[in-house]
Structure 1
Amino acid sequence: MSQQQQHVRQGAGTVEPNPVRLDAEKAEQIVGALNTDLAATYVVYHQLRKHHWNVAGAQYRDLHLFLGEAAEEAEANADELAERVQALGGVPVSGPAALERHSPIPFEGEDVYDVRTALGNDLEAYGDLVESVSSHIELVESLGDHATGHILREQLVGIEERAHELDHFLAHDSLTLWSSG
């Protein structure tokens, strides 16, 4: 960092008054929920990117493209969540340690897995993300924040579609070695 004097504009974990006039107590709850989904989305993003870089095998091209597109979608979702956190007066969670700490989805690790295992891990992560986002839709709408509910509902549709596509890749006629034993 520079030798210049630095001033913190807003501390991480704080919520200030917001331009959408959401009550401070409600905004704190919503910012906490959104930061959880933001962290989870970034964990999924990094996992998808890793699998995109390392995929190999007979369906390389299709999987490489799918994983790249899914990662880009996750990154766009994360950006939208971070901007909503900021609009509600909060500070978006950032940095690897903070993302891992706030995410309900565990970091897969740095090892490279076979394609079936990697995609299974992705499907599991998407399932966890579906559960988190779904519960937060109910929370934010019960607190009267219908705009955030709308954002989360739109994201949930895409998350569920990606999970459905992963399930198709994992079907028995795909990436499976059949044993006659």
Structure 2
Amino acid sequence: MSTQETVRQQYGEVEESEALRLDADKAEQIIDALNTDLANAYVMYHQLHKHHWNVEGAEFRDLHIFLQEAYENMEAGADMIAERAQAIGGVPIAGPANQEEHATVEFEGEDVYDIRTSLQNDMEAYGTIIEGMRDHIQLAANLGDPTTEHILKEILVDIEEDAHHIEHYLEDDTLVLDSATR
């Protein structure tokens, strides 16, 4: 085992890609936006996973399955974002502390809430993520990076669909409390 450690690229440093021919200044702006999206995705992934573990009640099974699909979608999108950031010369943000610090969404914390409150917290976070991704899609388009624009649009489709499902779960005739617990 080698004891020599070599840093190949420091976080925040952008290496120009000769193959992709994206100007380093433009790449730096896009990488920063992608790292925000990546950080948001992992904060949301952990929150959705927490809700998947803790969901209870009459609609447990459906919500348990949905929340697993939602966090898997979030993780798949995060992977695509990280790979794109690396491909255009950046270093994807890594580590929970760094991701939480860089994110524009806030993790709800360790406490367990009733499922309606949990899903309302998810809806708020999804809204922030959706708005940010739309801005970053426009940024990529404006900077002449149609590939990043396309990747983010693909991810956004899944995120919006999951947010829409949560909106349906939050309708008045679902997630009811037993009259004895009200």
Question: TM-score, structure 2 length as denominator?
Answer: 0.94
Helix, strand or coil at the partner of 1:124: helix
The answer on 1:8 being equivalent to 2:7 is yes
- The whole-number CA distance in structure 1 between the counterparts of 2:107 and 2:71 is 15
**Aligned equivalent of 1:66:** 66
Partner of 1:88: 88
Q: Who is 1:155 aligned against?
A: 155
Equivalenced residue count is 178
Aligned to 2:140: 140
Equivalents in 1 of 2:147, 2:153: separation in Å? 10
Cα deviation 1:23-71 (Å, max 9, x = unaligned): 0000000000000000001111000000000100000000000000000
Structure 2 alignment gaps of length 5 or more:
none
User: Which residue of structure 1 lines up, in the alignment, with residue 79 of structure 2?
Assistant: 79
Task: Report how far residue 13 of structure 1 moved.
Answer: 1.1
Instruction: Return the alpha-carbon distance in structure 2 between the equivalents of residues 53 and 24 of structure 1.
Output: 42
- Structure 1 segments, 4+ long, off by >4 Å, are none
Q: Tell me what 2:42 maps to.
A: 42
Secondary structure of the corresponding residue to residue 72 of structure 2: helix
Work out the CA distance in 1 between the residues paired with 2:166 and 2:85. Answer: 29
Q: CA deviation at 1:176?
A: 3.0
Return the letter of the residue paired with 1:20. L
Aligned equivalents of 1:115, 1:6: Cα separation in 2: 46
Cα RMSD over matched residues?
1.4
Q: Does 1:55 align with 2:38?
A: no
Moved more, 50-59 or 170-179: 170-179
The Cα shift of 1:177 comes to 4.1
- Taking the aligned partners of 1:50 and 1:97, their CA distance within structure 2 comes to 17
How far off is 1:117 after superposition?
Answer: 0.4
Q: Provide the C-alpha distance between the structure 2 equivalents of 1:58 and 1:21, rounded to a whole number of angstroms.
A: 54
Q: Is the deviation greater in 76-85 or in 154-163? A: 154-163
Matched with 2:120 is 120
Structure 1 residue runs of 5 or longer lacking an equivalent are: none
- CA distance in 2: counterparts of 1:160 and 1:73, whole angstroms: 11
Matches of 1:138 and 1:178, distance apart in 2 = 46
